[in-house]
Each structure stands twice: as C-alpha cells, then as structure tokens.
Structure 1
Amino acid sequence: MTLSMRNLLLASAACLALVGCQQGSDIISPGLTVVDPATPAPPPPPPPPPPSASACPDGTDGSSLGSFTLCDAPLGNLTTLNGTLTESATLEFREGVVYELSGRLNIGDDAGADGTDTPVVLTIEPGVRIVGDSGEDYIVVNRGHQIEAAGTASAPIIMTSKNDITGTGDRANAIGEWGGLVVLGNAPINRCNVAGVNPGTADCENAIEGVTEPDAFYGGADPLADSGTLQYIQIRHAGFEIATDVELNGLTLGGVGSETTVDHIQVHNNSDDGVEFFGGTVNAKYIALTGNDDEQLDTDNGYQGNVQFVIATQRGGDSSDNGIEASSVNPGATPASDATIANFSLIGNGNTDSNGIRLNTGTVGTYVNGIIVEENSCLDYEDNAGDGLPGFNPVNDPAFQSVFFDCGAGLVTTGDGTDPATGQAAVDADANNVEGTNSLGGFFPGPNELAVTATNLDDDFFDDVEYIGAFGPDESETDNWATGWTQDLFPDAECPTGTTAAGQLNGQNLCNVTGDVTDTLRLTRGNIYALVGRVNVGVDVGAAGAAPDGDEGTLIIESGVTVFGRSGSDYIVVNRGSQIFANGTRSNPVIFTSENDVTDAAGDRENAIGEWGGLVILGDAPINRCNVPGATGGTNACENAIEGVTEPDALYGGSDNEDNSGSLRFVQVKYAGFEVATDVELNGITLGGVGNGTVIENVQVHNNSDDGIEFFGGSVNAKYVVVTGNDDEQLDTDNGYNGNVQFVIAIQRGGDSSDNGIEASSVAPGVTPASNATFSNFTLVNNSTINNTDSNGIRMNTGTIGSYLNGVIVEQNSCLDYEDDAGDGTAGFTPGADPAFQSVLFDCGAGLLTSGDDADPVTGQAAVDADANNVVGGNSLVDTFINGDNENAVTVTPLPENGFFEAVDYVGAVKDADDTWWQGWTCGLEDASPC
C-alpha cells in the first residue's frame, strides 16, 4: 500500500471515530442541482419549541433538554432512576422524552451465584433515550436479574449523556460524560476473589471492574444463565473515571450466560473499553465499536463465548490501545479465556501504542474470517499468551484462520514480553491467512479481501458466510447490518481531493473529474462522478519508462461508484506507466456510463449508443504494428498511437509482457463510443499494449457505437466477459494480441447493426509477435429478428492465428468469415499457423463459411474439419445463452495448463441454469436487471 493510500484509509477511520460525520445525508432533490457559491445560504429555521412537560409519565414534571423533555420518572418502587429496583417495571417510550439517571440504578439485589426464581426485570421499550450527567450515573443489572432492552433498527434504544442530547461541547471528541451499562450473571469465570476455590464453580465470584461502594459481583456455575436481551442499542460518550484508573466500559458483561441475547450494539466514544467480557459464555453478534479510548473489544477472566460481525474503528490522535485485547488469569487456568471471534474488521488509527489484537496472560481464542488494517503491528503476541510456551500449539494458543493482515510495521510486535516467533507461527499455521495490502472501499471488501478463502464455521450460533470481514460484498454504506440504528459509523460522502464539487445529482454529491491525474485519486462511494473532457491518468512514461516528461498516476474507483460522461469528448486514458483499479463487486459493480443513462433522460434507452467516450488503457507490452518504419515488433522501439484518441496522441507498446496497468473487476461500460472524428470512434474498452500483470475479469460492455472491447497487441488475459449490443464487433483482437480469454457471452445488436461477434486481425502474415489469442468457453449469438447480412460469428483476416476452443456460435448468417490472408495467408490449413477450432458447436443460418471476394472457405472448412469434436448443427440454448442438451453433448477439449484457464467439462460460456457467474453485476441479460 502506498503511504497516501494507507493514510487515506486511516484518515477515513479517524473521521468515522472522531469527526462526528453523520451517517447518510439528506437528498436535496432529484436530478442536477448546481451550487452557486455567490448565493447566500437561507437562514436556519427557528428551533422547535420544547415539548410539553406533560409528556412525562404519570403526570410527573419535566424540564427542557434541548428539543426534548427531560423526565425524572418513577420506575416500579423507585421515584427516580436511581437506587435498587426491587420489582419488575417498564421504561416506556414517549415521543420527545428523555429519561434521566440520577445515580447508580441497580436492577435487583445480587442473587448470588445460585441466582433466583423470581428475577427483577427492567424492560426498556424501543426508542427510549436514557441520559446521565456524571460517572455516578450508570446501570447495573445484578446477578439473577434481567434487562429486556430490545430496540429496533428504526427505533434503537439510546443511552448517552445530557451534553450529547443538547449538543454541548466538542461532540466529536467527547468521552466519559456518564457511567455506562453493566450486566452481571452467574456463568463461569476463572478469576476468583477468594483464594483456593475452584474456578468455574459457584464458589468462584468476583467484584466487577468499575463499580464501587458497594461492589457488584459476578460469576457462578451456570453457563446457560439468562440476563435478558440487549438489541439495537447505542451507548455513547460513557466511561467516566469513578476512581483513579477505575473507569466503566461502555458495556460491561460479567459472568453473563449464553441464554442472554446480545446483538446490534454500538458503543461510541467511551473513555475505557467499548465492550468488555469478564468470563461467561454469552454470545454477541453485529457489534459496532467506534472511537473508544482504550480497547474497542476486551475479553478476560475465562470468557468462552462467540462473537460474529464486528466493526471496530480506533479513536484518532494519541488514543486507543488495541482493536481487541484478550487476557486471562494465567496459562492453564480453567475455564480458559477461549473466545471465537469471526467476521471482524479492525481499523487502526496510527497511535504508536496500538495494535490490531493484543494477546496476553494465558488467553487462547480463535480469530476467524477477519480483516486487520493497522499502521503499527497487527499482533502484539506476548510470551505469556496461550500456554506460555514457545512454539504454536493449535489447542492451547491463539489461532488465526482466514485473516487478512495489512500491517504497516510488520505482522507481530517485538520487544520485552513479546513472542513474535510463536505469533508468526500461529499465522503461518493456516494457509488461508494473508499478509498484504488491503483494497477496502471504506469498510467494504475489495478484490484482495474477496480473494481470501473464508473458513467454514460449524457452531449453530454463527452465520455461515463466504467472506471475511464485518461486511459482505452484497452490502453497501446504505444497505448493511449497521444501517439505520448506528451513529457516526459511515461518514457523509464528500467529493474527494482531486475532484471538484459540482452540486447534487440524483441525491448524491456530483464531483467533476478533469485534467491529468499524476498522484493517487480515489473515487469513493457515496458520490457520483462526471468526466469533464479527456481525463489522463498519468503522463506517458514511454516504452522503457524513461520519457523525460512522464509522470505516473493511479486512479482507484471503489465498488458501487458510477462515473459518467456527457459527450464523446469525455473519456479516460490510462497512459503507459500508470494504473487504474476499478474494483467492483458482484452486487456493487463499478459503472461507467452516460449522463443520459444516469438521469434517465427521455429517449430510446434500449438502442442508445455513443453518448460519451469510453475507457482506454495503455501499457508497454509487445505489439507488432509500429509507427516508425523499420522498428522491430515487440521491442521498445515499436510503439503506436491508439485508435480513437487525438490531440495529443496516446502511445502504447513496448517489451514488457508482464506490464501491470491495474485491474478491472465487476465493471460495466455502457453507451460509449462517440465518434471523436470522422470514422474515429472509441471502443467501450480499449486495451493497447496491456500486459498480463493486469487483471480483467467480470467486465461488461453494452451498447457501444464501435467495438465492445478491442485488444491492440499486448498479452493481457480476460475472464468472465459480457459484450452486448455493441454496434461494430463485440470483441476485436489486433496488432499482435496473444492473451487468453475465457467465458465470453457476446450478443450482437439487433437491427441492421453489428458486424461480428469476434474479429481477429494482425499487420500481415508472419509478423511477430503474432496475433495469436486463445479463446475458450465463448457463446456468440446473433439471433436478432432483423438480420444484418454483414455479420458473422467470427471474422479472421490479415495474418491472425488464434485458437477457439469449447465454444458455441449461433449466427443467422455464416458462422465464419475466413479470409484468404488469415493465418499464414496460404491455401490449406496449417496447425499453429492458421486459426484453429476445437470443440465448437456451429449453428449457422447461411452456412458455415462465407464465400466471395477475399474469402477462403476451403481453408476455413479444413480448419473446422481438423478437429473431430467440432459440431455443425442446431443449438438448444435456453434464455439466449445458457447451454441445453445439444451444447452439453459436445466433447470438450482440455485447456492449456498455463495458470489462467479454469478446467471445464462443457462448451460455451454458461453450462446450465445453475451456472450464474453473470448474475448480479451485469445488465440486460435478464428481465430482472435491465440496462
């Protein structure tokens, strides 16, 4: 990760924890709203009048607290919210009412390790707000008693401070303004306050941290203890220091048993830990921890529960210790501190004392399917962790499975009290752990995270998911498990540095992108981006990277982002030496399109084409068409100006087969290809001299006015390609392209449009590097009700070779236009020198091969006859491109074992109805996802 990328992510995390960024933003208006800085802002509306004091229950008096009424309401046997509740009672929701804690509120008296058959239950209705004003104001649910606080996503229960309600002080940094919530049970613990008793028994109890005068006890022998329900709760600005170094956590769970329900909890800006588990067996799910001043999550004293889906962002500045701290009494203590924490995302803040996870004092634990992004070390693995012995023991030491570590200062800390060798061995013990650079879009997984193999979880508590981290690829900032009930987790979207704010469009910030990108520009989610003119990523560095005016740039586009142009002059050129990373996901693809598409302008969207420019990516991999006479193909002297880009030209080509121009994953390019000059049109995606270090997979080009994708030389591979409705070729190869392409759905444009499914060309026969691509598992379809007599499935000319394997061609006209200058340009089929076909089903309305001027149907027929697995006959495709019986009856040709091709047992792009690689990220292939 570059320093700028890391700092950007860490700065985002700091914003999440500190800046008070509000989740979501108001939609100003549909369509485009231009912001005029000369127009003064309208005066703010007058504050609402304070609610009537009569809103308080039972006619009690209330006072104004901001826009709320503050009620010191009676509760059961209590006249105010303090003292000990000795009978069950309900704190009811009243619109506009806030309830005030007036000291320590006990729910029941401690029932001891054996509990009671008649628990006192405090019920808190959804939407209730409770406030405190000092560290003396907090709630303790004592052993044997229960709290039933079940909020909802639309009406969470909020526990916070008076200052928070009134907006007093520095809200972004406010901590420790009241006490917190303490829940105690009689489940087993391993730290006893009486020497000599057996841990995990009814004799082993302890006083909970942070509560004094009198102490409050937890622990016992009932792992199934039920302390009630905590759901959809925010705990904000708590953790007041009660005594020196004695602070309450936001949520303290001491000896709480597994029959207790804890899910959808946020702790924000606490002055000690966010949530701490002291022993017990309670499970927890959907936990958001933001800006707490010590650990975000802490486990201790024999905690043996399960936790899944945790997002934890550390506090900015010189604060916060660790994302997770795990401790125990000592190695070998029973019950062991042995939690299982799954699907966590821990985002550090750069504090030199912080780590992703700190492991010490006999803790075991399993950390599964997680992401740690930490500017310091990811793990502080101490020498007394686990069994306290050197070397990793999978039973008695902390274990990691399917965790992605992005650690600025190395994986494991070193120094006094640490055991980095055992920590490294614990990570190395699972092949699915990955150390690398994160590609997160905010908190959401990018390609690097999605590439990690998730570990299956076999406990009934865990959701069995196929991804790592707190959020999955189908979630976004506006649609995820934290949506609607959390605060300050997701920042308000704003135009990133390097773009220009231009008002609102469709309720999103409109950000203009223009000029040359010569640093790193990240287009973040939550905004929509307009290309203004030709946008250059970098300045061409030349074939050898030594151009005197060259300057590298990087364009990063997060999943779910839409980028649009208004005319053919709006397009992107990624120049040699620079990179683009457009990394969408299946449910949140990156979309490049036109303004008309974004605004749903009136017109025939089904047939719209050429409404903006397109995407051009240039590299320094070998090409065979040189702009300097006498230059040798495939060398640095052989370069050329890319088609469709003028004033100034954009050059491509060189000698580096492994050129890396970035990645396109889960990308749609729609309605592009505007005519830049007479007969000069941009393709949807143009790849010029792009090398095989570049990743192209899960890409669709739809309704382009020229080719869908054209490969001009280079060696880049492509997989899972959808090309639909483009007005010239769907795919085009030229100028020495010799990469591999697998899984292609190509559906030609209806009406008197489109030329060929694939066109393959070169400079001339025998030129090196040869145009010699390998295509496998393609389905090329031209079944328009209006036949274009100029179209063919594949057109081969001018020295192209190529291998076409395991394919299906359905064409109203001839399937193959095999020209006389194709391959070696001589009559007769020559394997290795002429285009070859293996295991291809040809369904051709006007015969297998074209005839007439420039055609060589005899050699074309020989090329087809050369493989006995080729079939000329009728298709049985279902829903246009899904194999039926005829396709699945074709004998498959084994593919080259080159590390790119996936082994298959079928021809065509889509094996059957269960083969859905194209679903979720494409448009126009099914009624449910129109373009």
Structure 2
Amino acid sequence: MSQFSNLKSILLAGAALTIAACTQGSDIQSPGASNPGTPPTGGGGGGSGGTVSADTCPAGFAAGDVVDLPSGPDQVACDIAGTILTNIALPYKDDDGDGVPVAYRLSGRVNVGIDVGADGAASDGDPAVLTIQPGVTVFGESGSDFLVINRGSRIEAEGAEDAPIVFTSLDDLEAGGAFRADAIGEWGGLVLLGRAPINRCEGGGTPGMADCENVIEGVTAPEAPYGGGVTDDNSGTLRYVRVQYSGFPLSSGNELNGISFGGVGTGTTVDYVQVHNSSDDGIEMFGGTVNLKHIVLTGEDDDSLDTDNGWSGKVQFLLVSQADNRGDNGFEMSSAGTSVSPATNPTIANFTIVGSTKATDPGNGLRINSGHIGRFLNGVVQDQDECFRWQDAGNDNATFDGIGTDPAFNSVLFDCGAGGLTIEDPETPAAVASVAADPNNSEDTSSITMNFQPGAKELSPMATPFAVETLDPAFFVEADYLGAFSPDETETNNWATGWTNHVFTDPGCPDGTSDTGNTINGTRVCLLAGNFDGDPVMGTPSYTEVNITRGNFYELDGRVDIGSDVGNDGLNADGQSIALNIEPGVSIFGNSGSDFLVVNRGSQIFSNGTRQNPVVFTSEADLQDTVSPSLRLDSIGEWGGLVILGRAPINRCEGGGTPGMADCENVIEGVTAPEAQYGGGEAADNSGMLMYTLVKFAGFPLSSGNELNGISFGGVGSGTKVEYVQVHNNSDDGIEMFGGTVDLKHIVLTGNDDDSLDTDNGWNGNVQFVIVKQRDGRGDNGFEMSSAGTGVSPATNPTIANFTIVGSTKATDPGNAFRINSGHIGRFINGVVEDQDECFRWQDAGNDNATFDGIGVDPSFDNTLFDCGTGGLTIDTPETPAAVASVGAGADNTTAIDVNLINGFINDTAAAGRTAFTDLPTNVDLFFEDVSYIGAVENASDDWWDEWSCGLVADDC
C-alpha cells in the first residue's frame, strides 16, 4: 500500500500531514447514488458493518473515527491537508476486505506540488503526482475545502465505469447520495493548473507566449498562477470522475467552479467527467489547449461550460442540462477582446444543450462575446427563451488570425423558445448569418427524448451530420448524428450510464396518463384514455401537448382523441389543438378493435421514431409475446388503428359543400359517434410527423366498407411528414387516403388483409419508395384507387415513384396489383409489379380518355415493369383497351420480362437492368429524389427498409 510521507503543510506550520477524523456522530456513508461503496474491478469490498480495526485508514494515516450508520457498512474519513510534495496515492480501502470503505476528506486548501513557474524552472518549485484509485471518494465540508493541482504537478484520477472516482460533500455523504435538486456549494472544487498558452496576461507578458501568466479565480493568497508556452503540457488524467455539489464564491466573478482548468495542455486526459450542481460554473476553461471527451454538466447554478482566455481545445460528446428554475447559460464564451491572439477558439462536436426552465431571466443556450470564435458541429440546442445572447462575438466579421472570426455552426439544430434565435440587438444579423451560413443548420423543434436520446430530427435523413472525424482523426471519432448520444444507445446503456449521478430519470407515467399497476414483461403499463383536449388532467394546469416518454408501454383504452375538432376553418369555438409527442422506442397498444387513436383536425402527432428505435403501435397480444412470430403470420385485427384528420381539400362532401373547397367536409370511416370530421381548404395543413413508425395487427370492421385501417389519413395536408412507415397485417387496408395532399416516402405495406394502399376522395400527394408485399393466401389489391366519380374536381391524382408490388398468392380471387376506378387518374413511375394473376382491374379509370382539369385522365405509367400472371395485363373488359393503351404509351414500360425478386421485394438482375425514368416531377419542396433504378429497393445493398421494419425477410413481427 502506498505510503504518505514528506508532506509540507501550508495550513499548520511544521506539520508533515494533518490527519483528522470527521465530526463524531456524522452519518457518513458510501458516496454515489448509482454505485455506493463499489470497489475497483477485481477488488474486495461488499458486506455490511462489523468491528472496525484501529488501522482502518491506509498506512501513513492516523486511525480514523468510525461512524455507525443505520444500515450498511460503516465509513471512516481520513483527512488530507496542506501541500503534497511527493508522489502519493489515495488507495481504495475497505479494511482488508471487512467491508468498511474509506473516504478522504479535504481539510482546507490542499495543494499538489508547488508551482514550477511558466518555464518549469522556478527555484522553489516542487512537482508531485497525486494518484487516486478507482472507487475512491474525496469530500469537503465547506467552500474552503478544495484541491489545487499546481503547474508542473499531476493528478492521476483513473476511475472505472463501475467504480468512478467521486469528489463530493459531507452533506452528500450524510444524505446517502439521495437526490437533492437544489443542493449546491457544499465544498470548494477541483483546480488544475498548467503551462499551456493563454491570452490574458497579468502583470505584463505577450498573449500566447511563454511569459503570459495569470492567477486562477477562486483561490486566495497565496495565489495560484497558470499559463506558459508548453502546448502539450500534462496535468494528468481525469477519467470516470464525478465532481458534485461544489463551488464557492469569494466575490462576484471570483468563484470556485466545479472544475477550473487554467492553462492546461493537450498532454492532459479528460474523458468521462461529470460536474453536477456546482454553485458557479460546471467547468471553466481559462486558456490552454486541453481536450475534453464524454462530458456531463448537470444542474449548475451559473454556466455549464465557461470558456475564456484563449482556450483552443476540442470537445466531443458533451451533455449540458441546466437545472429547473436555476442556472444561466449552457455555454458562456468569451476571450480577451477582438484583437488578442490566440482567440478563444474551441471546436465542439456532438453536444446537447438543454436550457433552464426559469420563469424569469432563463439564460441562453449560448452566450458568446468578447472576440470568442469557436466551431460547433452536430449539436442540439434546446432553450425555452432565445438560443443566443450574441455580444460582440468574433470580430464583427473582420479577418483575424486568418480566420473568419464569427463563430461557425455546422449541422446544429436550434430549438429556440419565445425569444427565437436571438433578440433584436446590433449583433443579431451576425448571429443569424452564422447559423444561415450552413444549410445543414436548422431552427426546429428537437425530437430528443426527456433523457437526451436522439429522435428522428437528429438523425439522417432529417439531419445531415457533419463528418467530424475528418477534422482531426486522432481525436474526433465518427458520429453521424446530432447531439451527445448515438441512436444505438439507450438510457440504460450509453456512454454516460453507470458512473454519472442523477442524469437519467425514470419518467414514470407522464402527465395525462395513469399507471395501471400492470406490467408486461417487467415494463410498466400506462393508460391513455378519453379525450386529450387541453383541460387540466391529474392536477396539472391546462396544456397544449402530451409527451409519451419511453421506458413504459402505453395502453389505449377505447377511443382516444387527441384534441377537439377545430372545424374546416380552424375557428370552431369548442376546438382545441393538442400536440402528441411520442419518443423513439415507445410502444402503444390496444387489446380489441374498440381501442384506437384519433388525431383530430387542428391537432398533431409527432411519432419520433428512429431506425434503431422505431415507434410501434401494436396489440397487447404482440407485446405479451405468448407465441412465436412464425405462429402469428395470420394475426390481424387485434386492436383498432390510427386515424389522422386534417383540413386539406377533399372531393367527396357530406351534407353539402363544393368539392375541393373549404366547405367540403366528410366523416372518416370506422369511427362511430361522435363522428370524426376531416377536410377543409388548407392544402399545406400540418398534422405532425410519422417517422420510423410501425402499425401492426390492427383493423376493425364496423360493417362492410366501414372499417378502421392500419392508418387512415383524412384530409391530411402537405405540411405533414410521413416517412419510414410500415403497416403490417391489418385486417382491412394498410393505409387509406381520404383526400388531402400529404406526401409519403419510404413506406412498407406487408400482409394486409384487404388492400395495401387505398386512395380516394381527391388525394393529390406524392409517394416515393413503397414496398407492397401481400401475404400468402390473404389480401386483395396492392393499390385500390378511386375518386368521387369522373366529373368531380379535384380528382384523386397522386404521383407514385419507385414502387414494388408483389401480389397475393391466393388460389382463388387473388386480387390485382392495381384496381383503378371511379375517375382515378395518377402517375406511376419506375415501378416493379409482380402478380400471379392479372396486373390490373381497370374499372372506369380516369374519364375514358376525355380531358378533365386539363389532364389526360387515364392513369399514366413510365418505366414500369409488369410481370403479370395468368390474367396478363388485364382481363377482357370494356376498359381493357384503355389499360393497354396507358401502359403502351410509355415506351420504357414492359410486360415481357419475368422477375425473380431477391427476398421477394429487392431488385434482381432483370429489374436492375431496366432503364429508370430520371425526369421526376419537381415541386417547391424537392420531394422526389433522383434515382437510376426502378422499383423500391435498388439492390441487396440498398437497406432503407432494414432494422426498423418487420416481416420482409424474416418472421420477426
């Protein structure tokens, strides 16, 4: 065991080491809520109380007092005081395996080494190394207890994921690590000082040069200097370290932070570090070059990350979460002015900032001023007020050090509150210009979960992450997402779990839901019931959104309405608009056909699934998983379905109105009293977003022709985003479109018992990349397409590109790939159609080649391969010539090639050899992607459908 010797005290003259026990009777127990008393990997420990020997403190320490705790092992505190002048270690100690862990108490200011000077040659300098073993706890009792690593010395605090090193307070130990939201400033903090360059000099010197020095804030006489000319200076290692409940103000602007880095160099390792509930800043950088990785800053009372004095380090993977009703800025960033070199100019990638919820003066995501530059990449900034306070940032776009000096942002999502991006002040144009300089930046509502995991908007394709690894491959690792956490991580398995404190919370059942008291496979079940209409629920005030957090299952109890219908004009006095926000990985279920979800006109659903964590609407039987997936191949109709209603135009009016006009309304099928209405005059109406969302085993027939589908879209507008959506094994249609203008992209429709895509009532949306795979022995048509007749405007007239339809193999009445009737038009591009019988059932499609709305009204086809079965292209009916003519009108359509699709839906060599139509229609939103292939899936390397969908290549539904 390491010995303590040759220690010079600056607090008690002439004492080699002040050793004392903590106050008698204190309730001290092992620190850290997540892993109390955990020894280093492979160490001893465990057990409960017992007799404590007189030599419980490590060799070199006087015996510590024993504190009897109500339960668990006793704990002994061994003091550290003065100045450490030799290489020593704080070992993890549990009384030789008898289960009595030791904590080390900082008694006043504790120095490691004596400052060696900017040049390392100070005559009285005396460096030392303090090594702290995994699992060790170091604590202070007041703001005057803190640790300083002086220039030339090092701290080697190398913890482990399951045994972090914890710097904390006596009060925390006495509380047993319990959550204390507003506990701050209970001891001093940690100070690391180095000889790397700084730009703010005290008493002379040239900024950035070896003679530029300063004294660290928060430390009184003797002052503690930092700075020099050693860029790669090494102050040691902080890895798997927590600093909590620290901070101490000497005076305004002169405070101890959680961790203060003064002139610390790149030779220092800072990785997996948390600062929690500091009374001042979490981490403050005073110049230097040190890099940081895997940093968590939570609950700080001032700024979470404060940068100044020419710091030019790098950061990757940084979480900032300000405390409710406390805290100031996520980042507070300054330099020594607009003409001092080196400027403060860090590069920070993969960061998440969640601002304070203070009612007044809530601070900002970023406060940037005084010549600070900086580059910020792949970030999420979420603030209830303005995202920026931009005060003389950079150098007003002048050239400085050859660098455009305003901060640069690449692939950052700004979710700003009432203040927007920034308030109107002289610097607003520079702030706006910096964000606008990269089209991959966005101002939008983020989709991160309450526990900071990414949603659809933080991932491709909605986000375009910057390839940060190209900036410095030696430091930055590939991370193609926005924010601190990857989509492969969860709240219980990510880089911050296991060693941090009070970061990830159990969401419980969210407001508006109730705990059923039941579990499914160990997961709590929360109830969704009734009408979410903004009225107070469960003791909460009136609300405008409902947040469905992951970590629970959610049961639909009967018909569940989101909002109350606002009417076709949005002015219904009884209407109420509500947003339903669903986090990635959530599963919502029903257990009968009467359980279904209705999103009414004026309200929105944000189903924020991701490829790795889709949102799933399914049945209780599916979640119970009582039978193997292979035995559920024919499971259908186990719950109701999803209904989304909007105010976009439709062409089939109930009770009067003019087709296509605002007064044309209808009631959605499958929903009984009170009926649910759709339609209006808002083509760009926004009903929210479905992204990476699965609807399985749904559908419920009220009567013939009046059924709940997997998803029913009624009058939904083009402002709604529907991408990466699957409906599987629905008892009626997979998706049915009742008018509207909404677009669809990357759609999977499998195993549906009637039609896979049913279009009607004047729908005029666009679709690209859709897989239709009918179930063996079941199902009807791939596309069933109709309108309100041959003389009603607007006709149902979608444009569908890159589709693959694989029809049913039913022995009798197998249905068709297309059933087109009742005045339906439509344009179909780059398709692959494989059907065992006839490809078409063509019934009064279009308007018998008459001109209608200025459009040749029979459907048109471009570059589509028809592999039809015994019925050929279509049976001999009066419409056969029109069907043949429509297909024949496109020179690159073919009915003469057989396909053998890979896994039944991926292009084989025959499909891959076909020429694609490349002059795809364009619109203001640039919806269609240019492709060089027909069909929905180019080849075996095209995997847009993989990971999140089910039932295409395996019985995994």
TM-score tier (shorter): 0.7 to 0.9
Change (3 A) 1:546 1:334: closer
Distance 2:725 2:565 in 1: 25
Report the Cα offset of residue 226 of structure 1.
1.5
1:573 aligns with 2:598: yes
Paired position in structure 1 for 2:565: 540
Aligned-partner residue type, residue 862 of structure 1: A
Report the Cα distance in structure 1 between the residues aligned to 2:47 and 2:160, rounded to whole angstroms: 26
The secondary structure found in structure 2 opposite 1:130 is strand
Aligned pairs for 1:285-300 (under 5 A) are: 285-300=293-308
Deviates more, 1:707-716 or 1:448-457: 448-457
Q: Cα–Cα, structure 1 residues 764 and 429, in superposed 2: closer, same or farther, change >3 Å?
A: closer
Q: Which residue of 2 aligns with 1:614?
A: 641
Q: Tell me, in whole angstroms, the C-alpha distance in 2 between the residues paired with 1:714 and 1:425.
A: 37
1:471-486 matched pairs, under 5 angstroms: 471-486=485-500
Q: What does the per-residue CA deviation read over 1:255-307, in whole Å, with 9 as the maximum and x for residues that have no partner?
A: 11112111111100111110111111110011111111121111111111111
AA paired with 1:696?
V
Residue matched to 2:322: 314
2:40 equivalent in structure 1: none
Q: Distance in 2 between matches of 1:550 and 1:706?
A: 30
Task: Report 1:23-172 matches (<5 A).
Answer: 50=49, 52-54=51-53, 56-58=57-59, 60-64=63-67, 66=69, 67=72, 69-73=74-78, 80-94=79-93, 96-115=101-120, 120-167=128-175, 171-172=180-181
Cα offset for 1:728?
0.9
**Deviation of 1:396 (Å):** 2.8
Look up the SS of the partner of 1:293 in the other structure.
coil
Whichever residue aligns with residue 633 of structure 2, its letter is: E
Q: Which moved more, 1:680-689 or 1:84-93?
A: 84-93
1:709 to 722, 730, 735: 735
* 1:419 to 1:579, Cα distance in 2 relative to 1, 3 A: closer
**Alpha carbons 1:623, 1:769 under 8 Å: kept:** yes
Contact 1:278 1:302 in 2 (8 A): yes
Once residues 906 and 822 of structure 1 are traced to their aligned partners in structure 2, the CA distance between those partners, rounded to angstroms, is 27
Q: How does 1:171-186 map to 2 (within 5 A)?
A: 171-186=180-195
Aligned partners of 2:375 and 2:408 also within 8 Å: yes
Q: Please name the residue that 1:220 is paired with.
A: 228
How much does 1:563 deviate?
0.8
In structure 2, C-alpha distance between the alignment counterparts of 1:748 and 1:94, rounded to whole Å:
65
Q: CA 1:205–1:439 in 2, change beyond 3 Å: closer, same or farther?
A: same
- Whether 1:861 aligns to 2:884 is yes
Query: 2:256: which partner in 1?
Result: 248
The reply to whether residue 271 of structure 1 matches residue 282 of structure 2 is no
Matched residue type, 1:646: T
Q: Which of 864, 867, 886 is the matching residue for 2:910? A: 886
- Counterpart CA distance in 2 for 1:607 and 1:156 is 51
- Distance change (3 Å), C-alpha of 1:878 and 1:94: farther
- 2: CA distance between counterparts of 1:715 and 1:202? 66
Q: 1:835 to 1:386 in 2, by over 3 A?
A: closer
- Cα distance change on mapping 1:163 and 1:763 into 2, 3 Å: same
| Matched residue, 2:309 | 301
Aligned-residue offset at 1:717: 1.1
Which of 484, 509, 513 does residue 524 from structure 2 map onto? 509
The 5-angstrom pairing of residues 494-643 of structure 1 reads 494-505=508-519, 506-519=521-534, 520-602=545-627, 604-628=631-655, 631-643=657-669
SS of 2:736's equivalent in the other structure is strand
Amino acid at match of 1:97: V
Any idea what the Cα deviations from partners look like across 1:907-930, whole Å, max 9, x if unmatched?
000112222211232122234x82
Q: Given residue 701 of structure 1, which amino acid in structure 2 is its aligned partner?
A: V
RMSD: 3.0
Deviations 1:799-836 (A, max 9, x none): 222222101112222222223x2222479999822122
Task: Tell me how far 1:860 sits from its aligned partner.
Answer: 2.0
Task: Note the 1:410-809 alignment, pairs <5 A.
Answer: 410-413=420-423, 419-442=427-450, 443-450=452-459, 451-457=462-468, 458-460=471-473, 461-505=475-519, 506-519=521-534, 520-602=545-627, 604-628=631-655, 631-677=657-703, 680-751=706-777, 753-782=778-807, 784=809, 787=811, 789-809=813-833
Deviations 1:499-528 (A, max 9, x none): 122124233332111111212222122222
Listed as ranges, the gaps of 5+ residues in structure 2 are 1-30, 36-45, 95-100, 535-544
CA contact (8 A) 1:733 1:761 kept: yes
After TM superposition, the runs of 4+ consecutive aligned structure 1 residues lying more than 6 A away are 20-24, 388-393, 826-831
Specify the alignment match of 2:21 in structure 1: none
Matching residue's letter, 1:345? T
Figure out how many residues of one structure are paired with residues of the other and give that number: 873
Task: Tell me how far apart the structure 1 counterparts of residues 477 and 324 of structure 2 sit (CA, whole Å).
Answer: 32
**Native 8 Å contact 1:569 1:676 kept in 2:** no
TM-aligned CA deviation for residue 244 of structure 1: 7.1
Could you tell me which residue of structure 1 aligns to residue 839 of structure 2? 815
Deviations 1:545-585 (A, max 9, x none): 34454333332222221111110010011222222221212
TM-score, normalised via structure 1 length:
0.88
How far apart are 1:253 and its partner, in Å? 1.2
- Is the partner of 2:172 in helix, strand or coil? helix
Aligned residues of 2:85 and 2:126 also touching (Cα < 8 A)? no
Contact 2:670–2:700 (CA under 8 A) maintained in structure 1: no
Matched, 1:347 2:347: no
Distance in 2, matches of 1:70 and 1:209, equals: 34
Whether the 8 Å contact between 2:364 and 2:387 is mirrored in structure 1 is yes
User: Corresponding residue for 2:408?
Assistant: 399
Residues in 1 aligned to 2:632 and 2:68: alpha-carbon distance in whole angstroms: 54
Q: CA deviation at 1:220?
A: 1.6
| SS of aligned partner of 1:871 | coil
Shift of 1:886: 1.2
CA-to-aligned-CA distance 1:131-175 (integer Å, 9 cap, x gap) = 211223222222222222222222222111121122179822111
CA gap of 1:495–1:632, structure 2 versus 1, over 3 A, is same
Any stretches of 5+ residues in structure 1 without a counterpart? 1-19, 25-46, 74-79
Give me the whole-angstrom Cα distance separating, in 2, the residues matched to 1:332 and 1:184. 25
Return the match for 2:345 from 338, 346, 353. Answer: 338
Q: Distance in 2 between matches of 1:355 and 1:391?
A: 27
CA distance, structure 2, for counterparts of residue 331 and residue 324 of structure 1: 19
- The 1:754–1:94 alpha-carbon spacing in structure 2 relative to 1, beyond 3 Å, is farther
Counterpart Cα distance in 1 of 2:428 and 2:403: 16
Q: Alignment partner of 2:633: what SS?
A: helix
**Structure 1 range deviating more: 596-605 or 891-900:** 596-605
Q: 1:889-928 to 2 correspondence within 5 Å?
A: 889-893=913-917, 894-898=919-923, 899-927=926-954
Q: 2:372 corresponds to which residue?
A: 363
SS in 1 for 2:157: strand
Specify the SS of the correspondent of 2:365: strand
Question: Which one scores higher on RCO, CA 8 angstroms, separation ≥ 6?
Answer: 1
Q: For 1:374 and 1:779, how far apart are their aligned partners in 2?
A: 43
Q: 1:373 aligns with which of 382, 403, 407?
A: 382
1:902/1:767 CA distance change after superposition, 3 Å: same
Q: What's 2:539 paired with?
A: none
Identity %: 50
For 2:419, give the aligned amino acid. Answer: A
Counterpart amino acid of residue 409 in structure 1: G
